[in-house]
Structure 1
């Protein structure tokens, strides 16, 4: 496995930025199926609830639950990214808005870690996603 040269780290960062933009777009449309398509078939999502969510069906159901709770305005901002021709990793700050117990708008945010697998067509799909 060949590591990416430092001159291509900006390429990886640009790819991750593009993947994040597509993910945020699906999230902000409350498109749980669209969000789930960003993950490989054996992907894991590890939210702060300590659940282990496996595969696109469970991932879709998890995000549909967030959308029914009024979450929107999601934004991922890259902290770091790197990897090679098969696996790409990234860390990001995330922000979103939801509804508080009284129905008022409430902001949320934290840090996320992502591991992507490069697909045959060169695109990135998530293998692991954890956030707090």
Structure 2
């Protein structure tokens, strides 16, 4: 076997041996971690913890077409959801883009609740998130919209 052929085989073997996590997009991993923490706060019904994921000047644009500004409005919106029995929220990342200051993410979301007749059901849709990187490296939501 020639030297170039041996090198190709060694390179192929090395690539196969590298865990797939080594190929993961760092932004994807950061957003997945933020989503996991956000979901945990939501699923505890903790309005204070949910609001803490947003910047002080955040805009929240829910399916109701309301324009909600800042953590106080966000807290009030989620208090209404929790009072209505919405639970079991999940975010499934579709894609990310961004840089060291702003990260944009799209996700599928789902949650459990009750329909207009009071019957248990699942709701779902698509969400867009614009995160602002904080001085400590964490991500906070600057803009959140969903349908």
Same fold per TM (> 0.5)? yes
SS of the counterpart of 1:93?
strand
Q: CA deviation at 1:102?
A: 3.1
- Greater helix fraction, Structure 1 or Structure 2: 2
TM-score relative to the length of structure 2 = 0.83
Q: Which residue of 1 aligns with 2:71?
A: 56
**Consecutive aligned runs of 4 or more in structure 1 exceeding 6 Å deviation:** none
1:12 aligns with 2:33: no
Q: CA deviation at 1:9?
A: 7.1
Instruction: Return 5+ residue gaps in structure 1 as ranges.
Output: 1-6
TM-score relative to the length of structure 1 = 0.92
> Whose radius of gyration is greater, 1 or 2?
2
Answer whether contact 1:9 1:81 (CA < 8 A) is retained: no
Q: CA deviation at 1:101?
A: 2.7
| Aligned partner of 1:95 among 76, 91, 110 | 110
- Greater strand fraction, Structure 1 or Structure 2: 1
Q: CA deviation at 1:103?
A: 2.4
Deviates more, 1:117-126 or 1:98-107: 98-107
The number of residues matched between the two structures is: 126
Using the alignment, how far apart are the partners of 1:106 and 1:36 within structure 2?
25
1:109 aligns with 2:124: yes
Q: CA deviation at 1:16?
A: 0.1
Using the alignment, how far apart are the partners of 1:128 and 1:100 within structure 2?
27
| Aligned partner of 1:38 among 37, 41, 53 | 53
Q: CA deviation at 1:82?
A: 1.6
| Aligned partner of 2:144 among 124, 129, 132 | 129
Instruction: Return 5+ residue gaps in structure 2 as ranges.
Output: 1-21
Offset from partner CA, 1:98-127 (integer Å, 9 cap, x none):
112332211100000000000000000000
CA RMSD between the two structures: 1.4
| Aligned partner of 1:69 among 81, 84, 90 | 84
